[in-house]
Amino acid sequence: MANHKSALKRIRSNATKRLRNRYQAKTTRNAIKKLRNTTSAEDAKTLLPRVISMLDRLAKKNVIHKNKASNNKSKLTKLVNSLS
């Protein structure tokens, strides 16, 4: 167990941040799956900017690596372009 007040606070804040990161990462993964399963070009074009924004936000906060975000954005953009 932690011996200092600051260590206790750090444990609490880490737990809060962990839950937030997991929620945002899961939401982004679900959005990516939804985009990949879309067959309509119009729906895909409207979903793509939202998914890219979510990926950028996760990379900015170091929830995922910036190269992983870049690779996902590239693959999803290719997919959307191939639909039209």
Q: Grade residue 1 by pLDDT with cuts at 50, 70 and 90.
A: confident
Query: What pLDDT score does 68 carry?
Result: 97
* pTM greater than the 0.85 cutoff: yes
Which pLDDT tens digit goes with each residue over 68-80? 999 999 999 999 9
Domain count, the chain: 1
Which pLDDT tens digit goes with each residue over 41-54? 999 999 999 999 99
Q: What is the CATH number of the domain that holds 17?
A: 1.20.58.110
- Domain of residue 69: give its range: 5-83
CA-CA distances (angstroms) from residue 19 to 22, 32, 55, 73? 5, 20, 17, 24
